[in-house]
Amino acid sequence: MAVGEGVGVGGWQGELLDLEGYLGRTGFRGERAATEGVLRELVRAHVTALPFENFDAVLGAAIPLDVPAVQDKMLRRRRGGYCYEHAALFAAALERLGFRFTALHGRVTLGSEKVTPATHALLLAEIPGDDRRWLCDVGYGAGPLEPLELLDGARSEAGGWPFRLERRPGEFGIDHWWLHHRGPDGWVDRHTFTLTPQHPVDYVGGSHYVGTHPRSPFTRRAYAQRFDGRRHQILDGDEWTTVLPDGTRSSRTVHPRDLGRVLGEEFAIVLDEDTAALLADRTAANTPPPR
């Protein structure tokens, strides 16, 4: 989809998804049904198999959100994507499997009191015949390994990675929900969101800002994450950091020319030679010389 185009109200192109290709890429082996168990398995499979990366934004390439383009990139070419791409793919899978869901927009805060733009895509899923609603944050790069029931105080400790939800009164009488993760110094608010439904075209607009605006952090430097449930791998420019569930961190510097190899071996992101070379050049240009 280009900016200004849509796919119809509530239409997430599930009919265009290669469902078996998606399930195979994520390693999902459960039944094809809209149940709580399937939703739990599906979230964990997606989060741990599909990496996060912003390389197209850094390199000035188009980032379409239509399902054929996203699945070609993330399933067939074995790239990663950022939150809008992940949400588009997961929404199509939910639609195909018979789940009801609402697309949402969040504001990434990371403990800051500044008002940030609403540019994080996440989904609220429902199971047929069940009144509960489940937050599925599959596009953050290291989101909860299971869906969180939308309840004030809901918690997840899956894999030893703690998260909790909080509900607070917001402006204009609209409640705000906050997702917190536990850091070395205690709980940190990761992002806040409301329950205002979003349509596919809303994600196109948000993605256009994130992927093209000169003040967007995603257009400035390469960023990638892989979260396999045992460790969280982060690449920020040329700095590669590994985080364990107990908060232990180790960092090292990657030479720009080694990025393609490291991304393939450690982040499950496959880059062709041209893209790897362009990314190396861009990273080298952004890296200060050694003192």
The residue assigned the tokens 């329950």 is 195
Mean pLDDT of the chain: 94
| pLDDT at residue 267, rounded to an integer | 98
| Of residues 108 and 289, more confidently modeled | 108
| pLDDT at residue 9, rounded to an integer | 38
Catalytic residue list? 83, 120, 137
Q: Quick check: 6 pLDDT over 70?
A: no
Q: Quick check: 291 pLDDT over 80?
A: no
Q: What is the mean pLDDT of residues 272-276?
A: 97
Domains of the chain: 14-286 (3.30.2140.20)
Q: How sure is the predictor about 288, in pLDDT bands with cuts at 50, 70 and 90?
A: low
pLDDT in tens, 35-63: 999 999 999 999 999 999 999 999 999 99
Q: What are phi and psi of 56, to 5 degrees?
A: -65, -40
**Residues, the chain, total?**
291
Distance CA 123, CA 125 (A): 6
Distance CA 83, CA 73 (A): 14
Distance CA 1, CA 240 (A): 33
| pLDDT at residue 10, rounded to an integer | 53
Q: Quick check: 123 pLDDT over 90?
A: yes
